[in-house]
Structure 1
Amino acid sequence: MSTSLTSPENISHPLPTETERVGSTVGRRHYGTHLFLIVMSIVWLVPLLWTVYTSLRPKEATDKYGYWSLHGPFGFSNFTKAWKQGGFSHLFMNSVYIAIPSVILTLALASMMAFAVSRFTWKFNLTLLVMFTAGNLLPPQVLAAPLFEMFKHTSLPYSVSDSGTLLNTYYSVILVDTAFQIGFCTFVLSNYMKALPMDLTEAAMVDGASVWVQYTRIILPLCRPAVAALGTLEVIWIYNDFFWPLLFITDGSRQPVTTGINNLQGQFLSNYSLLAAGATLTVIPTLVIYFALQRQFVAGLTLGASKG
């Protein structure tokens, strides 16, 4: 008795194509990636959200029910009190006095150094690039004592510094922030400039353009996405710097907002709801800067990612 060719057992099923197999594999891999990103997002967001939550509760409710409770009432009184008691309007201006010159100096000097080591071939270009990059490997704490003593014995006119030295001035923090950040920026910008065609500067040299004209008129305008991305990072990093202002600036009226937040802490008792409100106020400028420059930041980081 013959078996029918149209029976279910004999119906051939088409094999999955290569695209379908790769798509299913990628789909399975994405589950793990999404899970990892969700977990990391929770790890990063929980402290921030809990700080905001604590800042909305009065100290009495926190003392009565504990920090990990969900009891109210809630309000913005801590923010108003922290702004007035901590003098945040003055502290924010101190941060501006430090962050803006530091970022401008860092990007200007790093772009010049990157231009020199990436567009010209000379004996020590690689050595200097390695030295600039290796400077970022030194932990700041190792250089704290030598820098403090050096600034302490660096004399300045009293018209410039009321201490007669570099200590207790904005200059000391600006110099150190610039020195520590210039290596990273030089490394990033030099790699970016190396990807630009050499024909640009060679044609400019044939036309009689000087080195300064090549740097300012040709290379630097092409590096705007990278400079914008680095500028965003540097503003956030220098603004959030806590160690160097705490070490070099002893006058409370000159401290930036990250160290001046200690003004909210009492001598014998700490109002953690007030400190949480002050910390939340401190975070707001960095979030504003990031969201305002988000497009330039992402463009600078992803530019060239699709190049073969």
Structure 2
Amino acid sequence: MAPFTLLWIAPLVFVLTVAFRSFDDITRRGLGSLPASFSFDGFTTALQSGIGRALVNSAVVTVVAVVASLFLASLAAFALSRFAIPFRRTILLAMLAGNLLPPQVLLIPVARITESMGIYDSLLALIVVQVGFGLGFYTFVLYGFMRGIPGEILEAARVDGAGAGRIYARIMVPLCRPALAALAALATTWIFNDLIWAITVLRSEAKFPVTAALLNLQGGFVSNWNVVASGAVLAAVPTAIVFFMFQKHFVSGLLVGANK
């Protein structure tokens, strides 16, 4: 695995090396040469060029969208898995089928819908789109997880007088914590790194998330490779932190049911 590991981390090391080099060092010695300087100028310029504001926008959209998506998906999965809802399998397949459509086909309709709703060019529009397109997949995953929880646990709770709301909050959600943590890590990565929906429903640069701001940064500093690399590093750090925070739960969530 050593050669594969080196092949995997080589681009990351290269980007980090370029990010901490000065512009004069790169222009004088070349982009592929060994660094002869150590500087934070690239990070300073990237933050002053809008990456800092874009990181805040991405954080707001990601946190709100992830929380709203998992909350709604857990409610839907609980209802579909534990109540005799007519056509529940059809409903579940319809929700999942929405994720199979290529997003490129829906760009214009989504943009027109957000305009008609009066939320175009706002972070709310991006949050609504992210929640809508992720809800089906999250519900499908949580539905399978909740179906595997023994029904005797819920029957015992009903005998003790617990209603549907208390069963959901006190039993289902705590038992689904590994699955919710795994989905939270995936959803954070997908939403934070999304570009296509950001440039579809947003127009003002002040409201761009970090991916769209990084695209503008690459256009404005096309020859300043240290600035572009610094912006890429800043954009990658939050998702890396989230993944390492949820790593234990993420792995356990992926292995749920593997021993059955």
TM-score, length-scaled by structure 1: 0.77
How many Å apart are 1:274 and its aligned residue?
A: 0.7
The size of the alignment, in residue pairs, is 260
Asked if 1:81 corresponds to 2:34, the answer is no
How many Å apart are 1:127 and its aligned residue?
A: 0.9
> 1:50-89 alignment to 2 at 5 Å?
50-83=14-47, 85-89=48-52
Distance (whole Å) between structure 2 residues aligned to residue 198 and residue 283 of structure 1: 42
> 1:93-108 alignment to 2 at 5 Å?
93-108=56-71
Q: Which amino acid aligns with 1:132?
A: M
Distance (whole Å) between structure 2 residues aligned to residue 291 and residue 126 of structure 1: 35
Asked if 1:48 corresponds to 2:12, the answer is yes
Asked if 1:283 corresponds to 2:246, the answer is no
Distance (whole Å) between structure 2 residues aligned to residue 141 and residue 223 of structure 1: 33
- Asked whether the 8 Å contact 1:55–1:79 carries over to 2, the reply is yes
Q: Which residue of 1 aligns with 2:226?
A: 273
- Asked whether the 8 Å contact 2:185–2:250 carries over to 1, the reply is yes
Structure 2: gaps of 5 or more residues: none
- Asked whether the 8 Å contact 1:86–1:261 carries over to 2, the reply is no
Q: Which residue of 2 aligns with 1:112?
A: 75
Q: Deviations over 1:97-150 (max 9, x none)?
A: 211110011101111111122223343111111111111111111100111111
Distance (whole Å) between structure 2 residues aligned to residue 279 and residue 180 of structure 1: 26
Let me know the Cα RMSD of the aligned residues.
Answer: 2.1
Q: Which residue of 1 aligns with 2:86?
A: 123
- Asked whether the 8 Å contact 2:96–2:140 carries over to 1, the reply is yes
Asked if 1:233 corresponds to 2:186, the answer is yes
Q: Which amino acid aligns with 1:80?
A: T
Q: Which residue of 1 aligns with 2:98?
A: 135
TM-score, length-scaled by structure 2: 0.91
- Asked whether the 8 Å contact 2:221–2:228 carries over to 1, the reply is no
Distance (whole Å) between structure 2 residues aligned to residue 192 and residue 285 of structure 1: 28
How many Å apart are 1:178 and its aligned residue?
A: 0.6
Q: Deviations over 1:128-180 (max 9, x none)?
A: 111111111111111001111111222xxxxxxxxxx2111011110111111
Task: With a CA cutoff of 8 Å and minimum separation of 6, indicate the structure with the bigger relative contact order.
Answer: 2
> 1:158-173 alignment to 2 at 5 Å?
165-173=118-126
Asked if 1:185 corresponds to 2:185, the answer is no
Structure 1, 120-129 or 272-281: larger mean CA deviation: 120-129
Partner SS state of residue 167, structure 1: coil
How many Å apart are 1:271 and its aligned residue?
A: 1.6
Distance (whole Å) between structure 2 residues aligned to residue 59 and residue 81 of structure 1: 11
- Asked whether the 8 Å contact 1:86–1:263 carries over to 2, the reply is no
- Asked whether the 8 Å contact 2:221–2:227 carries over to 1, the reply is no
Please identify which structure carries the higher helix content: 2
- Asked whether the 8 Å contact 2:54–2:206 carries over to 1, the reply is yes
Structure 1: gaps of 5 or more residues: 1-33, 155-164
Task: Pick the structure with greater CA Rg.
Answer: 1
How many Å apart are 1:222 and its aligned residue?
A: 1.0
Distance (whole Å) between structure 1 residues aligned to residue 96 and residue 65 of structure 2: 18
Structure 1, 72-81 or 195-204: larger mean CA deviation: 72-81
